[in-house]
Amino acid sequence: MFADKLLLQLLVLSSTAVQISGEQGIRRTSANVAGEYIAESGFYQSITLTGEKPLVESQSKYQNIKVVQSKYYGKVLVLDGVIQLTEKDGDSYNEMMVHPVMFSHRMPKRVLIIGGGDGYVLSEVLKHPEVEHVDHVDLDSAVIDVCRNHFPWGSAWDDPRVHLHFADGSKFLDETEDGFYQVIIQDSSDPFTWNDKGEKVELPSNTLYSKEHFRNIERSLSSDGIFNFQAETFNIESDLEGIVDWRKQAIDVGFENARYGSISISTYPTGQIGFLLCEKSVTSCSTPEEVNERYTSMLKNGRETSYYHPKLQQSSFDLPLWVEKRIYQNESKTISSEM
């Protein structure tokens, strides 16, 4: 999810104290932590590790990969010094990236996942019995290899419905036929950061947030298709500006509606992140009764969730007033599938 955010992210595994400096001044933290500093807001948070060596550490063509053990959050996946997920609270982000969009579509047979190399999103998609075909597209095979062996959902890629592609997500879509997928989920890293001069710096994943890419996604979806993507936190001003822009962009390329949903997750900066759920046809979405029926059936078949439940089909889109005003401005917020 997160790539370099503003000035500094760090992973410290030695016994030496660390000094953090940036436009907000100098800060100190103890050793044996995985943490992230947001210079734009002066926010820093970290997780205490056990002090042991990483369970695995490698350098791929694209990034540094670590799996470390924490005292409270279990195993932690860290890419280029940035926490991606933990065993304890990874359910909140990944279940919400998947189940609101999957239940919103009445028959999500063909699904595309862009990013999400840790495999958690994939494992949640596969809980839906309607799924017949999943294309999972990720650049870095090394991340997938690590997660296969170190996380409990690592067998997800063995499911015969899954087709794994090591490729650029935007280029993969160039070859996709029109209307092939019912659902597309984009679990990508941040599209931009800021340097120490306060200048905005575009990151490689920026192409996945471009208007051309969104247009390709809209084209690749069926007439009732739905797109869900990682849309940052509303607690950081530059991210909130991005949310507003990406939502407008989604509607400009042809989505009838785009709604920002909020997720509580303690190990991400500010404890909150969100997603934008973009629908091509609001009236084609599942009714509350259909969502409840399918969820109950999923539970009976042993496919449980620990964060998501059907009430979140609506309540996750209920935002603080100041956030709703910024995102929707003078619009009347459209809610499909009133619960």
Q: What percent of the chain has pLDDT over 70?
A: 84
d(CA 111, CA 125): 8
Q: Is the pLDDT of residue 175 over 90?
A: yes
Tell the residue number behind the tokens 């495999």, with chain if given: 119
User: What was the pLDDT predicted at 44?
Assistant: 87
Give yes or no for a contact between 273 and 234, defined as CB atoms under 8 angstroms apart: no
Asked whether the beta carbons of 187 and 209 are under 8 A apart, the reply is no
Q: pLDDT of 266-299, one tens digit each?
A: 999 999 999 999 999 999 999 999 999 999 999 9
pTM greater than 0.85: yes
Over residues 140-156, the pLDDT tens digits come to 999 999 999 999 999 99
Beta-carbon contacts of 142 under 8 Å, excluding residues fewer than 6 positions away, are 58, 60, 61, 62, 65
CA atoms lying within 13 Å on the CB side of residue 239: 24
Q: Hey, is 278 helix, strand or coil?
A: strand
Which are the catalytic amino acids? Answer: 187
